Structure 1
Amino acid sequence: MATAEPDYDQLLRANLERVFNERDDEARARAIDALFAADPVMYEPDNIVEGRAAVSAIAGKLLEQFGPTFRFTATGRAVGHHGLAVLRWEAGPAGGPVAVTGTDAARIVDGRIAELWVLLNAPEV
């Protein structure tokens, strides 16, 4: 018997909003506890991050590095099935130009993010 698919769009949008746009460390940690598996792994282009605390630290560092109005925004609905989901996004300062675009690909286990791949698009020339 097939199990019901999770709401991939809700889950990956919540990850952008409640984790990667959250500047409050405690609120971000609570969101990660709710959205991520116990021992998540995040694959960045040049780094592998393991564990909830490490994911939180990376998100906080990104927000600090890029300034107080920097935000990630979904550019469509997430799609997925059988435990794999993808969401396209863009990021940049509020009211400013888009600084980076990319796609998050996630392996979902029991309704939570177990693995997250951050895929960055090449800069437009």
Structure 2
Amino acid sequence: MSDTTSTVPEAAEPDYDRILRANLERVFNERDAERRAAALAELFVEAPVMYEPANVVQGREAISTVAGKLLDQFGPTFRFSPVGAAVGHHGLGSLRWHAGPDGGPVTVTGSDVAEIIDGRIARLWVLLNPPEA
């Protein structure tokens, strides 16, 4: 009979909540391109990939461009806000969020799911919830 428990020491789990909240605040809510680029350099691996429903975005600069365009498209008070704490294990974390104008109605909800390697985001999936009827 085989033993299904591992005897290999597990690496410390990353702080999923800190990393994914920082991604929302310092990347996707950041309107200053230089500060957004600095956050991407800190939070993401050198060659990250982001999966959106209709697009695959490769590299920090391309992710920064997507974030900047979203903020420009939806207006000066549009922002993403976390819903609850991020959860994760074994290098995969998830954070629910909602977005809309600051103080206004929520216009979109979703989750970010990230593969974290050595404390940084390697791959990010942006999952959008269907609109409520």
Distance in 1 between residues matched to 2:102 and 2:11, nearest whole Å: 40
Shift of 1:3: 1.0
RMSD: 0.4
Distance in 1 between residues matched to 2:91 and 2:10, nearest whole Å: 12
Q: Does 1:59 align with 2:67?
A: yes
Q: TM-score, normalised by structure 2?
A: 0.93
Q: Which consecutive residues of structure 2, in runs of 5 or more, have no partner in the other structure?
A: 1-8
Which of 17, 31, 36 is the aligned partner of 1:28?
A: 36
What percent of counterpart residues are identical?
A: 70
What is the SS of the residue equivalent to 1:2? coil
Q: Which consecutive residues of structure 1, in runs of 5 or more, have no partner in the other structure?
A: none
Distance in 1 between residues matched to 2:41 and 2:54, nearest whole Å: 25
* Correspondence for 2:125: 117
Listed as ranges, the matches of 1:10-89 within 5 Å are 10-89=18-97
Structure 1 runs of 4+ off > 3 angstroms? Answer: none
Aligned residues: 125
Distance in 1 between residues matched to 2:56 and 2:92, nearest whole Å: 19
Question: Highest Rg: 1 or 2?
Answer: 2
Post-superposition CA distance 1:58-108 (Å, at most 9, x none) = 000000000000000001100000000000000000111000000000000
